[in-house]
A and B are shown apart, each in its own frame.
Chain A
Amino acid sequence: AQKVTQAQTEISVVEKEDVTLDCVYETRDTTYYLFWYKQPPSGELVFLIRRNSFDEQNEISGRYSWNFQKSTSSFNFTITASQVVDSAVYFCALNEGYSTLTFGKGTMLLVSP
């Protein structure tokens, strides 16, 4: 069975600080996909990134970067120079092949001015 653990329930930072959100996953499959979603206070789920199990290259998109390490089953998300607009709940999710998404419990990020 697949499982996603986000151990950090809530993180508070001051604007311009860097912050890393942790995600650890469990799966028996060799083919799987990892995702990060952002849920702002308005409630919708905003897709941030998808990563497949065969691609361990780290990715950078503007202030966002992702560190995928199969050896530790982790897919961590870093926001550089955080901004107040980054305040949201961030979910890590996993699916095996074409199966359904399994979400972690989410990490609430509070960025204060």
Chain B
Amino acid sequence: EPEVTQTPSHQVTQMGQEVILRCVPISNHLYFYWYRQILGQKVEFLVSFYNNEISEKSEIFDDQFSVERPDGSNFTLKIRSTKLEDSAMYFCASRLGYEQYFGPGTRLTVT
């Protein structure tokens, strides 16, 4: 069964560094998402992407964040200058119909 994949599974970075989180959505899906879950808290929407542009973003998704679909398969989330409070699990999701399929997540630890 097709699935969403994410790499790396765990990323440790120092404050102020740039990180890129990578996702490979399910191949025929058209809508892509990033969500964030700070440890012990709920899953929060960051951004949605359709037709090569951002379709919706939350207040969390400020200028330090960007997304890109650099080729036909990858969907990336870049955090330009990481802060301690960016430490969280980041989930990518994709959908074709109503149901969003989630990847296994990347745990980002900012030290």
Contacts and interface: CB of A to CB of B under 8 A. Distances in A.
A100 B96 CA distance: 13
Nearest to B103: A44
Interface size class, chain A: 20 to 34
A43 B48 CA distance: 22
A106 B42 contact: yes
Contacts of A35: 99
A91 B105 CA distance: 16
A103 B42 contact: yes
A45 B43 contact: yes
B42 A44 contact: no
B107 A44 contact: no
Contacts of B41: 105
Contacts of A95: 98
Interface residues of B, number: 22
For the complex, would chain B's binding face be called helix, strand, loop or mixed by DSSP majority? strand
B42 A91 contact: yes
A24 B67 CA distance: 33
B42 A105 contact: yes
B91 interface: yes
Interface string B65-103: 000000000000000000000000101010000111111
A43 B104 contact: yes
Contacts of B107: 43
A44 B105 contact: yes
B51 to A, nearest CB: 13
Contacts of B103: 44
Contacts of B48: 100
Given A47-B99, A47-B102, A101 B45 contact: yes
A43 B99 contact: no
Given A98-B31, A105-B42, 13 more contacts: A35-B99, A44-B102, A44-B105, A45-B102, A45-B105, A50-B98, A93-B43, A99-B56, A101-B35, A101-B93, A101-B100, A105-B41, A106-B42
